[in-house]
């Protein structure tokens, strides 16, 4: 495997898990969350965990689509970027967590199949494929931090209410 590809895959796995030097990664951060917990909003106009999960799934899709050349419009959920949660059932939450897992696997597969010659290709973007892949890893880390903070805020809210 090309050293840059190997490095990009390592970055993606650091953000995803199962083990990361920085602490809990995305895969572990969403484990065990209920639909009710995922819907809790830390403040008016703030995103909840569920919205963050869909947002991260969408951008994993977008990067894998861009580097593999797949046409737009193939994301399994309606919408893009920040997707509204309409069905708030436990079943729907589990399906959206699975969507996140599926989109991560799709991104990993796309990165593994990308030829080293295409790492610096732009495909109509100002960002190279390698830059977009590294950006996807950073995006996961950024939003996982938000997700962990929301969980902490929600648990503090619950303990104060007792």
pLDDT tier for residue 148 given thresholds of 50, 70 and 90? very high
Question: Mean per-residue pLDDT for 49-58?
Answer: 98
**Domain locations in the chain as residue ranges:** 3-161
Angle between helices 129-161 and 90-113 (to 10 degrees): 160
- Span 3-43, pLDDT tens digits: 999 999 999 999 999 878 888 999 999 999 999 999 999 99
Which residue shows structure tokens 């436990």?
Answer: 90
Specify the higher pLDDT residue, 81 or 159. Answer: 81
Alpha helix locations (H) across the chain?
Answer: 3-16, 26-30, 35-39, 49-68, 90-113, 129-161
Look up tokens 């929600």; give the residue.
Answer: 154
The CATH class, in words, for 3-161 is mainly alpha
**Taking 90 as the threshold, does the pLDDT of residue 161 lie above it?**
no
């Amino acid at each position: 495997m090309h050293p840059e590809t190997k490095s990009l895959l390592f970055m993606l796995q650091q953000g995803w898990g199962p083990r990361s030097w920085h602490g809990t990664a995305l895969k572990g951060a969403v484990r065990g969350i209920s639909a009710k917990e995922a819907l809790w909003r830390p403040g008016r106009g703030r995103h909840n965990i569920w919205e963050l999960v869909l947002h991260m799934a969408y951008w994993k899709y977008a990067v894998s689509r861009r580097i593999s050349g797949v046409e737009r419009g193939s994301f399994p959920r309606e919408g893009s970027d920040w997707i509204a949660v309409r069905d708030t059932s436990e079943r729907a939450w589990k399906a959206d967590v699975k969507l996140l897992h599926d989109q991560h696997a799709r991104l990993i597969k796309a990165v593994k199949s990308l030829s080293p010659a295409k790492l610096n290709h732009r495909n109509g973007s100002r960002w190279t494929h390698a830059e977009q892949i590294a950006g996807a890893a950073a995006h996961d880390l950024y939003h996982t931090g938000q997700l962990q903070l929301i969980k902490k805020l929600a648990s503090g809210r619950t303990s104060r209410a007792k």
